[in-house]
Amino acid sequence: MPGIHQPTGIMELQINKAKWEALPADVKSIVKHAAMAEALHYTLKMLDRNSQDLVTLVTKHGVTVVETPREVFDEILKAWDKVAERKAKENPFFAKVLESQKAWAQRVVPYRRFCHPPYEFAADYYWKGVNPYKIVKP
């Protein structure tokens, strides 16, 4: 742990475009806000359940949690870059979405790195040394 996907899990609601366009504005608004509320609800529920379940795995089932080494993340990102490049060449829509995501990240990631203190800052202040999951460092 962690998996590289953990901070980027997403949910989506897919609706047929023609059906969506046929809906009245008030129903579109209801669907939009219900989807946003569910995204928040899911995120909070996931944090609550996963934190409880990890305690259970460790204390009741003897699971050993091993922290993922930085080198593993680096290799995963290198592999993803190769896959993304290949998929972008094969699929114009994939390429368009990928470029859109990169453009957004190019603006947002530097902002977030500068304007949001590292998570570890507050976590270490309050919980430094606390390891209820008995995480093993590689």
The 10s digit of each residue's pLDDT in 6-20 is: 766 667 789 999 999
**Same domain membership, residue 29 and residue 84:** no
CB 2 within 8 A of CB 70: no
Q: Are residues 47 and 14 in the same domain?
A: yes
Range of the domain at 107: 68-138
What's the whole-model pTM score? 0.70
Q: What is the mean pLDDT of residues 54-80?
A: 94
The phi-psi region of residue 67 (left if phi > 0; otherwise alpha if psi is between -120 and 50; otherwise beta) is beta
Q: What confidence score (pLDDT) does residue 7 get?
A: 65
Residues 95 and 47 in one domain: no
Query: Per the structure, how many domains does the chain have?
Result: 2
Does residue 56 share a domain with residue 25? yes
The pLDDT score that the predictor gives to residue 117 is 87
Residues 6 or more apart whose CB falls under 8 angstroms from that of 105 comprise none
User: Is pLDDT larger for residue 117 or for residue 98?
Assistant: 98
pLDDT at 135: 87
**Averaged pLDDT for residues 97-106:** 97
Together in a domain, 138 and 79: yes
- Both 75 and 135 in one domain: the answer is yes
Last residue of a domain, one of 48, 63, 78: 63
- How high is the pLDDT of residue 57? 95
25 with 79, same domain: the answer is no
Note the pLDDT tens digit of each residue in 81-97: 999 999 999 999 999 99
pLDDT of residue 137 exceeding 90, the answer is no
**Token match 């190019």: residue?**
106
